[in-house]
Structures are given as structure tokens and as C-alpha cells.
Structure 1
Amino acid sequence: MTTTKFLTDEHLSGRVFDGGWTTVASVSDVTEPATGKAIGKVGMTDAAGIAGAAAAARKAQKGWAAAKPDDRAAVFPKAVAAGYEYWDEIVEWIMRESGSVRAKAEFELTLSLKAIQIAGAMPYEAQGLVLPSETGRTSLAKRRPLGVVGVIAPFNFPLYLAMRAVAPALAVGNAVVLKPDPRTTICGGFVIARLFELAGLPAGVLHVLAGRGDAGEALCSDDNIAMIQFTGSTNAGRMVGQNASKHLKKVSLELGGKNSLIILDDADMELALKNAAWGVYLHQGQICMSAGRVLVHKSIIEEFSARLAEKAKALPVGDPMSGTVALGPLINQQQLDHAKSVIEQSVAQGATLLAGGTTDGLFLAPTVLRDVTPAMSAYNEEVFGPVAVLVPFETDDEAVQLANDTEYGLSAAVVSKDVARAIALGERLNCGLLHINDQTVNDDVVNPFGGVGASGNGTSIGGPANWDLFTEWQWMTIKGTPPAYPF
């Protein structure tokens, strides 16, 4: 590993990235949620800053798109190499800024570098089709870059959920303006800027600017931005979709979920418990794919709920930088207050609190709620916290009805020893992601990722879907001589 710093005091002194590191008038402190300490400063952009970045990106994009495939492809392995060179420092930034435990931070960096690596092959892939046509005429369908892609990324998997859009968008010849979440600008923005800067990406092709709502609105309305790729809450996604569509931009929305993990009566109890704990408590439940409902067959829910409560009570909670813990802090007080409110409302409505529910600073103890019914807050709301919501069912038909009883449609999972039964049940679920004998939190990078209903607008990102998302079709015909039309 290198002895030089990946991010220096200069990078963290209140700047934005526009191909270089530029100081701006507005500066915000970056706070470590586990301790409340300030760990750096980032520049905050406004609508005018977005406009300038979008114009500069559009200018730079033309040269980038015209570059030889070899030249574009060469950038990506260098970015991957930089990620491995500065592995420890990047992992610590993810831990400190987003509250991730080390295992989650390392997994996120692994996914992010894989996304860069896969994107690096895209300049060499087929970029169109030869269509049927008459003799003497060639008919082509070509994929062309959109121009400038605006990426608005969230706080929970800040590096990966930005990188999965930034890397393929760049690979096919677009420029990118990335607006990371203000709470995770360093690990979700500046890390990406540094990786591609060190890899030799031409200046101006990538801009990273933190900002609040006005910056996001400007990104959605700017004439130089061809597309918005947004990952975040459903409420914010609706506003982004409305604003961007009004300006006739292509829009990709990856939104929230109320995902069901269905435990059938024949499931291996120990494996089902491990799947449930991982799907519910990973990264404090702050994942759009988290198991928001654990549907458990009535015949086994007594044992299942008691053993899950034991497991929850045994999971260590604390500052990720202090040692081996399973859960870190929630991202901020607002998110903690929301999760605690859902717990308290549900208990008042009749749910049984078997474990957790207590807080210390931004730490929420792993929680288990049993006897949850469709009338309760925990059944309906996306908690985005470490809360297991246990709902009983008696038949496969009832499990399907409960799982589909939501406006969301992101991820679902079924655990059973009878794979054919699990598949038959799973095929009736309204979801974009389905896992048999696994839990709900899954992404291999190579797969199309997207939800239905309130979980997205029908687009997918990842793997083969990236060509559809970050390019547009152009139809082109070629004849040796012009035809003699009748007039």
C-alpha cells in the first residue's frame, strides 16, 4: 500500500471537483455520525454552479466521445488500480462518513471497483445492429452517448450507488455531473473524483458538486443535461421525475422499497434466521433492499421470533472505528427519529416489542417487532432502520397477498427446502428482484437492477441494462447512389 494520502487537507478544505479542485463561497462541515466530530469541509454548489458545470461538461464530452475506444477504455483499469492502492483509506472514509461497519465498507468498495472494471470493457463491445434491408442498402441501428448525464446519489451506499451510474455513463462516451448526498460527499463523491483524476480522465468530463435541493432542481432543468439518474427516496424521486420529465429529459429512478422476506414452514430454521438478520440489520437497515417485512409461517413464528430476538440482543452496536461491531449509527437525528417513531407507533397499535427499541446518540439497538398487522405503521412504512417486522401467515396465498400489499415493488425473497414451491410463490410477487433461498439485499453489478411501482419508473441499471440506460439509438441507412423518387 502507498504511503501518500488519497485525499489531502487541500481536497477537504471546502472545494468542488470540476476537473480540478476549486474553492467556492459556500462550505459545509462533514460530520462523523458515530462521534459527531467534524472530519472535513466540502464546497456546496448552487444553481449557478450547476449551470457552469453542465456547460463545461457538455463542451468536454464531445472530445471524450470522439476518443478512440482504446483511449477511453484505458482509464478504467487505472481507476481500479488506484482503488486498490488506497484501499484502506477509502474504506475508512466510508466507515467514518456513512457509519458503515468495516465489512460493509469493504464490500461496498469491492462492488464499486467491480463496476469500474466492467464498465472498462464497454468501449470494446458491439454498439449497434445491422437491420434487415433491401439489396444495395445498409440499415444500421447505432448506440450513441446521450451527452451529459446528471447523477443524484444517496447516503446509504454512497460510493457504489454513485459509481454504478458514473462508470458506465463515462464508458460509453458521456460526461457526468455528480451531485452526491451532502451527508456523504467525501466517500460518495470525492473518492470517485480522485479515482478518475488519478486514472487520467480528461478534465471537465466528470464534475462532482455537493448541493442541496436547489442544486438538484437545477440539474433536472439545465438544457445541457440530457439525463438524470436518481437513487433515493420515493418522495424525492417523484419530484425529480416530475422536474426532469417536464424538461423532456431521460429519467432513471431507483427508489425505496418495503421488501418481503418470506419464511415458509419447511425452511431450515437456522438458515432462515441468518438470512433474516442479515437482510434486516445490514447497515442498520438503511438499504432500499432491506427486508422491511419478514413474513413467517404461523406454525414456526413462535420459535423464529424468540430466536431472532436473541440474535438481535447479541449483535454489538457501536462506533465502526472502535473495533468489531455489527451495527453502526444511523446517518442523522432525523432518520433516527423516524425509525423510533415507527417503533413507538406500532407498539401503541398493538405490536409486541421483543428486542431493541432503545437509542444512544445515533445508535438504535437492533429491534424485533412481532404481531405486526396491516393496520400498523411498521407494516406500511419504509423504516430505514434496524427493525425486524414479523408478520404471520398461514398459506402460500396469504403470503403472496401480504407481500404484494404495498405500493413498492423492489426486492423479495422466499426461503424453503422445496425450491419448486418457492419459485411458484415467488413468480406471483410484484418485484423487480426475486431471490429464492436468499435474503432481499443482493446486487452482483452484472445484473439489471430495478423496481416496479413506487420503487422505480421501470428502468434498470447494471449489466446489460447500462447500454439501454446511458445511450440512445440512431437509425442510419447507406446507399451507394441516391434513389430516383417519382418527384
Structure 2
Amino acid sequence: MQTQYTKLFINGQWVNGSSKKTIENTNPYNGESLGTITSANAIDLDRAYRAAETYQPEWEALSPGERQNYLLRLLDAIESNKDHIIKWLIQESGSIKTKAAIEIQSAMSIIRESLSFPTRMQGTTAPSNIEGKENYSFRSAKGVIGLIGPWNFPFHLAIRTIAPALATGNTVVVKPASETPVTSGLLIADLLQEAGFPAGTVHVVAGRGSEIGDEFVTHPVPKLISFTGSTEVGTHIAELASKGLKETALELGGNNAMIVLPDADIQKAANAAAFGSFLHQGQICLALNRIIIHHDIYDSFVEQFVQAAKGIKAGDPALDNVLVGPIINKEQLEHIQQMVQKTIDQGAKLHTAFRSEDQVIHPVILSEVTNDMPAAKEEVFGPVATLLRASSEEEAIRIANDSPYGLSGAVFTNDRYHGMQVARKLQSGMVHINDMSVNDEAHMPFGGVKQSGSGRFNGEWILEEFTTIQWISVQAEDRHYPV
């Protein structure tokens, strides 16, 4: 495996970008340089897409067993290079060791799930209303898929598209996030190369959005664009794609809520809420943004939640006992600080002083928050927890649903069946009973409603996204026409 990644990966070759611009890759914790990448421009992008298009029919024509064997070798490559991957996740994305290990395991899980896809490309037969006709449907690959990689869970969320896309016979072009060009793209290309994947299967073009972002979507070759990121960028991608009637798989922002009902185990709920709020410094689309507590237990919950949060250590993500590492960049840190201050100005109570060092923000807790305050209204994407008071279960559900987002959520109660009834009333693509909102299993549907995205990842649902159905009928007996 490479120790530094400063080149693009096109058609199996490591090449310099053709742009005059560069991507400066830096460690968000200490500012240390991780390398300078010469950006891709439109010429590089076209080369990658054309190479992927040229090779795709050959890749799809491989037997299911051959594609499965490549994926098995990719699993071996990841297993053999875990320490290398963890090192890069820590130094490039600010991951703590626990989060990096979770991320690698999640990526391996989606690869294992994808192993079944080549043999799940099943069609159907059906009767016909026309005498002597036979009806068939066949499932095939979409073609070339364009992936715009994220920076928060860069390795897993890129693999989440790459593995099922390859398993179903597609080829892929990746534009990794500029904040994490290695872990959301170039490192994965290195692993694929070590696993022996053919040159035309995956291509990685690291480039600035201002230079190739729009053209990455509007280029005529890709049949589907897969994107995980903010709702604002996702909306722009959907608009661009719609002009060419191009399909999208979009997993976007979240303003996730946990409802704590009066019969809940307060200590268990507080511990889960703390982990769900502050894991990876809250920079997860699934992270808890709003914790809605029934009035009867509000004060007790606040006390135990504050106690749990004060035990969380923030600092260098490379250290074993650290749970909260650095914010991805200074602009985001300043945005979070301004949002917290505006929320306090509107009447929220601050339980922990706002402290930041080397882009690390220590856990921030705001109580007596209402839905119209900035830290509750917007997706914070930082280690900030807002505690909201609800006078009843019905009001808690109303508060949770009073958001343009609907990605993930949670309900805490000792009555698990009633928790499911409450969950059914939440406008959210995913809800977890007696657990926090950060959950992802490779065989379960992952995605949101409203402004949290469209489509579903994982399992049979991504199989539907990345393949197309063709109807073929066969007139087995002569058909008589009125001419």
C-alpha cells in the first residue's frame, strides 16, 4: 500500500491531474500536511468516464462467481491493511480509533452483503393475455455510476456505493471529498488494485467542485449519481441530473430526534443519547441533534445527561480514551460557535462552557431549547446536544416531526411495543427503539424522507437502485393481425 496519495487513479494508472489547481490535504487536528494533489479537470473526468464506459460491458459479462471472487479478495485486502486504513481515517478525517474500527467493519459488512448480489440478479416469467406469447423480465446493470464521496464516514460511505455497484455489473467513477480525498477514494483504489480488480472497474478523480463538480453530474456517460452529503448540495445535484433525466441515489442531511418517554430508564437513555450526540464529534448525518424529553422526567434526564457528557474526553483522535476529535475545518467550527451563541441569545441554557482547542470542540449541552432556535432548527454537524421539553407524548411527536428533515430517530420507553407505535408516527426513514439514532446494517434499508434524501441504500433496496429491468416477450405461436 502507498504511504502518500498525490495522484489520480484512471484506467488502472496513477496519474497527475491536468488542472492548474491543487488540493492541499491536511490533518484537521494539527494542520499537518498529508500531501498535495494536482486536481482533475474536465479532460481527466472525461477520460475516466469514457474508460469506465468502455470496460463496463466486459465487467458485466463476467460470471457471478468471478465477480464474487474479486469482492472476496477486496475483503482480504481490507483485513490485511486495517492498521493502514485506521491511520488514514484518524489523520485525514479526525476519526477516533473506535469510530475508525466501526467504519471499517461497516464497509466489510456491505461487501459481504454485496457478495450475494451477482446471484440475486433475478428475472421473472409471467403469463400473457395474448395467445401464444411468453413474457420475461431480466435484470441488468445500469452501466456507469458516478459517486461523489463524503468526508465524515469517507471509507464506509464510498464502499457502500462501490461494492454493490461492482457486484451488480456496473463500473464506477469516484469524485472523493476534497477534505478526505484519500479515505473516500484514492485509498480505496489502492485496495482494489491490490485485490487485482481489472483496470476499468473503478476510477478516482480528485478535483474541486468548482472545476468539475457540475460536469461530474451532467456528463453524458453516468446513468446514476450516488451522493451522500448536505441537503443543499444534494438538491443542486438533483436539479442538474433531472435535466438529463438521470437517476440519483441521495442520502442527505438529518436533524435527528430522540424521544424519551416518562417510563424510560433515564440512565440508559442518557448514556445512549450522549454517545449518539457526540460520536465523531457529531459529524454524522445520523447523529442526534434534538433530544425531546417528557416534562415528568426532564430535570432528571438533564442531570444525568450532563453527567454522562462531562465524562467524555475530547482531544487528539489518535489517543485511545478520546471520543470527540477535531471538527473538519475552521469554517465549520466558527459556524457551530455562532449557532450555539444565537441559540443561547434566544433563551437556551448552556450547561457546559463552549471550549475549543486545535479545532476540537468539547461537548456542548443546551437545555430549554425550542424547535425555532438555530441549534434545533438546523443540522449542527458538531458536538452540540439540544434538550427540548415536551408536555405530552403527542407534543413530543409533533416536535420531532416539525422539521424539513427525516433521516433517523429514536424512542426510549420500557414498553417496547408502544415504542414501535410511536415510531410509526415519526416522519423518519429509520427509527430505533431503546437505542440511539446512529445505526447502519448492511441488509436493512438505509435512507430518509422529506429533505433527507431519496432512494435507499443496502440490501435488496440498493439492488433496485443500481440495476434496471427489461421486459422481453416472445411470440411462440403465430399471431394473427387484422391486416
Q: TM-score range by the shorter chain?
A: over 0.9
Cα-to-partner distance string for 1:157-183 (whole Å, 9 max, x where unaligned):
001111111110111111101111011
Report the CA distance between 1:482 and its aligned residue.
4.6
- 1:46 lines up with 2:46 in the alignment: no
- 1:369 lines up with 2:366 in the alignment: yes
Match of 1:216 in 2: 213
Q: Please, which runs of 5 or more residues in structure 1 have no aligned partner?
A: 1-5
Q: Where do 1:204-353 residues align within 5 Å?
A: 204-213=200-209, 214-353=211-350
- 1:197 lines up with 2:193 in the alignment: yes
Residues 349, 376 of structure 1: 8 Å contact kept? yes
Match of 1:177 in 2: 173
Residues 132, 477 of structure 2: 8 Å contact kept? no
Residues 17, 207 of structure 1: 8 Å contact kept? yes
Residues 366, 386 of structure 2: 8 Å contact kept? yes
Report the CA distance between 1:35 and its aligned residue.
0.8
User: CA–CA distance in 2 between the matches of 1:411 and 1:24?
Assistant: 38
User: CA–CA distance in 1 between the matches of 2:320 and 2:153?
Assistant: 21
Deviates more, 1:413-422 or 1:401-410: 413-422
* Secondary structure of 1:211 counterpart: coil
Residues 413, 439 of structure 1: 8 Å contact kept? yes
Report the CA distance between 1:144 and its aligned residue.
1.3
Q: Out of 74, 77, 81, which is 2:76 matched to?
A: 81
Residues 256, 289 of structure 2: 8 Å contact kept? yes
- 1:15 lines up with 2:8 in the alignment: yes
User: CA–CA distance in 1 between the matches of 2:3 and 2:389?
Assistant: 52
Match of 1:415 in 2: 412
User: CA–CA distance in 2 between the matches of 1:482 and 1:154?
Assistant: 55
* Secondary structure of 2:328 counterpart: coil
- 1:462 lines up with 2:476 in the alignment: no
Report the CA distance between 1:197 and its aligned residue.
1.3
Match of 1:67 in 2: 62
* Secondary structure of 1:243 counterpart: helix
* Secondary structure of 1:45 counterpart: coil
* Secondary structure of 2:166 counterpart: helix
Cα-to-partner distance string for 1:237-286 (whole Å, 9 max, x where unaligned):
00000001111101111100111101111111111011101110011001
Q: Out of 145, 148, 151, which is 1:149 matched to?
A: 145
Match of 2:162 in 1: 166
Report the CA distance between 1:306 and its aligned residue.
2.0
Match of 1:37 in 2: 32
* Secondary structure of 1:338 counterpart: helix
User: CA–CA distance in 2 between the matches of 1:358 and 1:89?
Assistant: 32
Q: What is the percentage of aligned positions where both structures have the same residue? A: 38
Alignment-mate amino acid for residue 189 of structure 1? G
Report the CA distance between 1:77 and its aligned residue.
0.3
Cα-to-partner distance string for 1:425-480 (whole Å, 9 max, x where unaligned):
111110100111111111011111111101013x1111110111001110011233
Residues 356, 364 of structure 1: 8 Å contact kept? no
Match of 1:388 in 2: 385
* Secondary structure of 1:278 counterpart: helix
- 1:24 lines up with 2:17 in the alignment: yes
Q: Out of 43, 50, 56, which is 1:55 matched to?
A: 50
- RMSD of aligned C-alpha atoms? 1.4
* Secondary structure of 1:184 counterpart: coil
Cα-to-partner distance string for 1:90-123 (whole Å, 9 max, x where unaligned):
1111111000100000110011111112212211
Match of 1:3 in 2: none
Report the CA distance between 1:136 and its aligned residue.
4.1
Report the CA distance between 1:154 and its aligned residue.
1.0
Match of 2:375 in 1: 378
User: CA–CA distance in 1 between the matches of 2:8 and 2:86?
Assistant: 21
User: CA–CA distance in 1 between the matches of 2:272 and 2:99?
Assistant: 16
Alignment-mate amino acid for residue 2 of structure 2? L
Report the CA distance between 1:8 and its aligned residue.
3.4
Match of 1:445 in 2: 442
Match of 2:119 in 1: 124
Match of 2:476 in 1: 480
User: CA–CA distance in 2 between the matches of 1:39 and 1:356?
Assistant: 32
* Secondary structure of 1:435 counterpart: strand
User: CA–CA distance in 1 between the matches of 2:81 and 2:252?
Assistant: 31
* Secondary structure of 1:322 counterpart: coil
- State the TM-score, normalized to the length of structure 1: 0.96
Cα-to-partner distance string for 1:308-333 (whole Å, 9 max, x where unaligned):
22222221111112342111101111
User: CA–CA distance in 2 between the matches of 1:74 and 1:485?
Assistant: 50
Report the CA distance between 1:41 and its aligned residue.
3.0
Residues 312, 356 of structure 1: 8 Å contact kept? no
Report the CA distance between 1:126 and its aligned residue.
4.1
Report the CA distance between 1:69 and its aligned residue.
1.8
Alignment-mate amino acid for residue 254 of structure 1? E
* Secondary structure of 2:152 counterpart: coil
Q: Please, which runs of 5 or more residues in structure 2 have no aligned partner?
A: none
Alignment-mate amino acid for residue 323 of structure 2? A
Residues 98, 155 of structure 1: 8 Å contact kept? yes
Residues 24, 45 of structure 1: 8 Å contact kept? yes
Cα-to-partner distance string for 1:53-105 (whole Å, 9 max, x where unaligned):
11111001111111222222210000000000011111111111000100000
User: CA–CA distance in 2 between the matches of 1:132 and 1:259?
Assistant: 46
Residues 18, 208 of structure 1: 8 Å contact kept? no
* Secondary structure of 1:340 counterpart: helix
Match of 2:99 in 1: 104
Residues 51, 218 of structure 1: 8 Å contact kept? no
User: CA–CA distance in 1 between the matches of 2:435 and 2:320?
Assistant: 28
